[in-house]
Amino acid sequence: MATTGEYLLEALDVVKRYGDFTANDRVTVKLRPGRIHALLGENGAGKSTLVKIMYGALQPTAGALRWRGRPVSIANPAAARRLGIAMVFQHFSLFDALTAAENIALALPGRFDLGALARRITAVSAEYGLPLEPNALVADLSVGERQRIEIVRCLLQEPRLLIMDEPTSVLTPQEADQLFLTLRRLAGDGCAVLYISHRLEEVKQLCHDATILRRARVVANVDPLAETVASLARLMVGDDVHAVRAAGHARDGAAALAVAGLSLPAAGPFGVALRDLTLSVRAGEVTAIAGVAGNGQSELFQALSGERLASSPEAITIAGQPCGTRGVTARRRLGAAFVPEERLGHSAVPGMELADNVLLTRHASDRKMVRGGFIRRLETRSVAKRVTDRFDVRVSEVNPQASALSGGNLQKFVVGRELDRKPAVLVIDQPTWGVDAGAAALIRQVLADLAKDGAAVLVISQDLDEIFEIADRIAVISRGQLSATYPANRIDRERVGLLMAGVEEAHAGGDGAPESRA
């Protein structure tokens, strides 16, 4: 490994304030070439603020940066890239109307041939095990595929320092393993990697050093191998993280959500067609759908939520009512709630306050909020306050805009907003994407509790740890088809992984034989 005693980048006593709110409070982090350095902390601890300062997207209120021992001012991301700093953001900086190749081209200096760039992207993405179609429109891609664009864009810059903010949150275990090989190879070539993750097992597996932030301050610098997952989590949140209590629920409840022979054409040239999907989710249970990003999860969520309509009412049934041709408002009135995977822009409007974001999903189903055509502002603000308190959503002011929240805090808010309705059916896509260990445990526990109270919960997730922690039954989606549904205690991770990868063909249209044989 190419390591030296010289530091590549040093952030020294960095302070960042927004009015009376302090996001970073005299934070010091020192990065060496050839080392993978973890930056850990709960949501809102100041991690993203610090790395944006390193990348030139923000300027510090106080403190200093040094590059190879010399003071440096990084005025903007272009200046950072000229130094050799590349960054993969948790919230992607991509233009939906452009192709993958065009988005990557925007970050590259000088003139270039787009066709040659597309061939280079294909070669690099294949070399690093990150499949990417250069001519695909970003608007048609899943979150996982968008993440690959960000990673490949950074790799094409041949960086000296690579900053990665939650890079595996939308990757399958196999994709994450491939990414780890890539990062180790980069470190071996002398590149420094600053790695932000809430997945502490992968931090122990991958990282040489770790700095831990809590409430804007550094609380520890540790060797991850010398720590346990529990001790790292304790340092992050300041207390023990309790295990999720997800005892098996009754499996003989009525089907509160049913899908019967659902087929939908692809919405665009790079979309995924759904083919004859059949599934039932019973009251009182958590059913999980696993799958590699881009295999029809987004299309299935859109069909279930009413964003895309089926060809017949009977294709989707909620609370015994056929609603395949009815929109999202009608389905909410039947007691259903929906949480999409993309929290900023889909789950919540960035420029709107939290109270107004509550109103967006409750105006037609909650008479307390709208009466006689008038919005009751006190009620919307009261619900927003109740959600932020119950789910420990860290905010810098009362009723801020959604864009002011960190990714994990916004996720807790949008989940809490829907659970506050006490829905009879909940469909949630990637419930703990990019949230810390404490927040993930909280979200998973409330999903388990919701099922325990009699609701039907459908979780779409790429996180197998999450799936096996909370699910009663598991199905796998691959290339727009759904496998049979298996009791969680009668299928192992290897089998699920094979189904996710499409290696094992076991498409049975959905519920049926495997469970009945179990």
Query: What percent of the chain lies above the pLDDT cut of 90?
Result: 60
Strand partners, 194: 37, 163
255-517 is classed CATH 3.40.50.300: yes
Residues 6+ apart with CB under 8 A from 67: 8, 9, 83
Encoded tokens for 351: 């420029």
Query: Per-residue pLDDT averaged across 52-64, rounded?
Result: 96
Q: How far apart are CA 500 and CA 346, in angstroms?
A: 26
Query: What percent of the chain lies above the pLDDT cut of 70?
Result: 91
* pLDDT single digits (tens) 85-113: 999 877 678 898 899 999 999 888 777 78
Residue 486 confidence (pLDDT): 95
pLDDT at 206 over 90: yes
pLDDT at 298 over 50: yes
252-255 contact pairs (CB < 8 A, 24+): 252/282, 253/282, 253/283, 253/284, 253/285, 253/454, 253/456, 254/282, 254/283, 254/320, 255/280, 255/281, 255/282, 255/283, 255/317, 255/456
Q: Which of 269, 247, 239, 215 is nearest to 437 (CA)?
A: 239
Residue 246 confidence (pLDDT): 65
9-237 is classed CATH 3.40.220.10: no
pLDDT at 508 over 50: no
Under the banding of pLDDT at 50, 70 and 90, the label for residue 278 is very high
Are domains 9-237 and 255-517 of this chain identical in fold?
yes
Query: Per-residue pLDDT averaged across 396-413, rounded?
Result: 89
Q: Which of 438, 465, 433, 471 is nearest to 170 (CA)?
A: 433
Task: Report helix angle 114-127 to 143-155, nearest 10.
Answer: 100
Report the predicted TM-score, pTM, of the whole model to 2 decimal places. Answer: 0.72
Q: How far apart are CA 200 and CA 229, in angstroms?
A: 6
Residue 227 has φ and ψ, to the nearest 5°, of -110, 165
Under the banding of pLDDT at 50, 70 and 90, the label for residue 515 is low
Q: Where in the chain are the domains?
A: 9-237, 255-517
> 487 with 286: CB under 8 angstroms?
no
pLDDT at 471 over 90: yes
| Three state DSSP letters for 239-281 | CCCCCCCCCCCCCCCCEEEEEEEEEECCCCCCCCCEEEEEEEE
* Strands of 321-322's sheet in order across: 274-282, 255-264, 316-318, 321-322
pLDDT at 516 over 90: no
Amino acid at 285: E
Q: Which helix (H) or strand (E) holds 477?
A: strand 473-478
pLDDT at 513 over 50: no
Radius of gyration over alpha carbons of the chain, in Å?
23
- Does 168 or 48 have the greater pLDDT score? 48
Among the residue ranges 58-62, 237-241, 400-404, the one predicted with the least confidence is 237-241
DSSP 81-136: HHHTEEEE-SS----TTSBHHHHHHHTS-S---HHHHHHHHHHHHHHTT----TTS
Under the banding of pLDDT at 50, 70 and 90, the label for residue 481 is very high
Residue 518 confidence (pLDDT): 34
pLDDT at 233 over 50: yes
Q: Which helix (H) or strand (E) holds 72?
A: strand 70-72
Residue 394 confidence (pLDDT): 85
> 264 with 408: CB under 8 angstroms?
no
